[in-house]
Amino acid sequence: MNAEQIRLIRESFPAIHELSGPVAKLFYGRLFELAPQVRPLFRQDIAVQGRKLMDMLTVLVGNLDRFEEMEPILKAMGQRHAGYGVRPEHYEIVTSALIWSFGIALEGDFTPQLRSAWSAVIEAVGAVMKDGAAELLPR
């Protein structure tokens, strides 16, 4: 992520956060449409899960310029997710569903540059989480 991408993400996040309930519903609906096999991995109420997602995004956006400091937290989250049954190939689907939900929520304000910025941060998060999950594998 570069400085311009961080700026774009930070400028767009208040609108996403304001619509956090609908964004979360859009995201999970799209995720389960794209990958119905992941639905059983979510044992918690989706509304609660959506609040957790938005809480994590809030922390992430607030720390984008110190992303490396977030890495231990993200690795641990990746390890927990692996324990729930999340597999490496699920991350691409999650990215797609999240970007799609942001696009629906922000409509015309979701420019190609903003899409690219959010994709970069979500992919960076996924890469660190996958690294964390991989640390659980026997060597």
Number of domains in the chain: 1
Residue 42 confidence (pLDDT):
87
pTM over 0.85: yes
Region 30-56: mean pLDDT is: 91
Q: Rounded CA gap, 74 and 88, in Å?
A: 14
Residue 137 has pLDDT above 80, yes or no: no
Q: Which among 76, 100, 80 is positioned nearest to 24, based on CA atoms?
A: 100
For residue 77, the domain's CATH number is 1.10.490.10
State the residue range of the domain holding 41.
3-134
Q: What mean pLDDT comes out for the span 19-38? A: 94
Neighbour-count burial of 95, counting CB atoms closer than 10 A to its CB (0-12 exposed, 13-18 middle, 19+ buried): middle
Residues 78-99 have a mean pLDDT of: 93
Is residue 139 assigned to a domain?
no
Residue 139 is predicted with a pLDDT of 53
pLDDT of residue 45: 87
Res 1: pLDDT? 82
The alpha carbon torsion through 122, 127, 132, 138 (nearest 10 deg) reads: 150
Is the pLDDT confidence value at 68 over 90?
A: yes
Question: Which of 91, 99, 98 has its CA nearest to residue 133?
Answer: 91
What would you report as the CA-atom Rg of the chain, rounded to the nearest whole angstrom? 15
